């Protein structure tokens, strides 16, 4: 399951259409490799100006002195990347292409991707099917978790 947590100033991502467009781009990244769309969870986490600091400075008002700052925390569980620089560059390039169109001139942004151990992940109490398996294809087609043999060890 990819989980995208987007920490942002309250003044950003106020309209649903902008959020929906960004979410669509995020989901497309994962469905393009066969993951079910419902695996992808995106959470927008607006923060009040007094709650958003970078270093010792408040950064959320968007002025030249206090630029907006958006922090993306991305967690991958369903698929772990091979420990290869070229694969990491390819994935981060895709993430850059998703995020950058939504960032304005007065916005600084940062992200990191963490990979969580898949064996510690369950959906509705089930062990999710292996990536690219026939059962995962069922989950993708149904866009929901569907019981299967071995789901409840």
- Regarding whether 78 and 134 lie in a shared domain, the answer is no
**pLDDT the model gives residue 105:** 81
Pairing of strands 57-58, 53-54: antiparallel
**pLDDT the model gives residue 63:** 64
**pLDDT the model gives residue 47:** 92
- Regarding whether 47 and 63 lie in a shared domain, the answer is yes
- Regarding whether 147 and 75 lie in a shared domain, the answer is no
How would you write the pLDDT of the chain (153 residues) with one tens digit per residue?
Answer: 999 999 999 889 999 999 999 999 999 999 999 999 999 999 999 998 888 888 887 776 666 666 789 999 999 999 999 999 999 999 999 999 999 999 988 889 999 999 999 999 999 999 999 999 999 999 999 999 999 999 998
- Regarding whether 97 and 56 lie in a shared domain, the answer is yes
- Regarding whether 56 and 112 lie in a shared domain, the answer is yes
Retrieve residue 37's tokens. Answer: 């769309």
**pLDDT the model gives residue 62:** 61
Q: Residue 70 and residue 126: Cα distance in Å, rounded?
A: 34
- Regarding whether 143 and 77 lie in a shared domain, the answer is no
**pLDDT the model gives residue 115:** 96
- Regarding whether 127 and 116 lie in a shared domain, the answer is no
Domain count, the chain: 2
- What's the 3-state SS for 83-111? CCHHHHHHHHHHHHHHHHHHCCCCEEEEE
pTM score over 0.75: yes
Domain range for 21 is: 3-121
Among all chains, which residue has been given the structure tokens 């958006």? Answer: 70
- Regarding whether 65 and 136 lie in a shared domain, the answer is no
Q: Residue 146 and residue 140: Cα distance in Å, rounded?
A: 10
Q: Residue 117 and residue 63: Cα distance in Å, rounded?
A: 41
- Regarding whether 83 and 14 lie in a shared domain, the answer is yes
Question: Which CATH number does the domain housing residue 38 bear?
Answer: 3.30.429.10
């Amino acid at each position: 399951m990819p989980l995208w947590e987007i920490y942002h100033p309250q003044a950003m991502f106020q309209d649903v259409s902008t959020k929906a467009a960004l979410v669509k781009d995020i989901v497309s990244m994962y469905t393009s490799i066969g993951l079910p769309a419902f695996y992808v969870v995106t959470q927008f986490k607006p923060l009040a100006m007094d709650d958003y600091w970078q270093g010792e400075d408040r950064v959320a008002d968007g002025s030249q002195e206090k630029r907006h700052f958006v922090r993306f925390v991305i967690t991958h569980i369903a698929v772990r990347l091979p420990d290869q620089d070229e694969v990491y560059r390819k994935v981060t390039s895709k993430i850059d292409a998703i995020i950058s169109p939504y960032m304005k001139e007065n916005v600084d942004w940062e992200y990191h991707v963490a990979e969580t151990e898949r064996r510690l992940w369950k959906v509705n109490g089930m062990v999710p099917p292996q990536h690219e398996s026939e059962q995962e294809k069922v989950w993708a087609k149904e866009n929901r978790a569907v019981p299967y043999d071995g789901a409840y060890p």
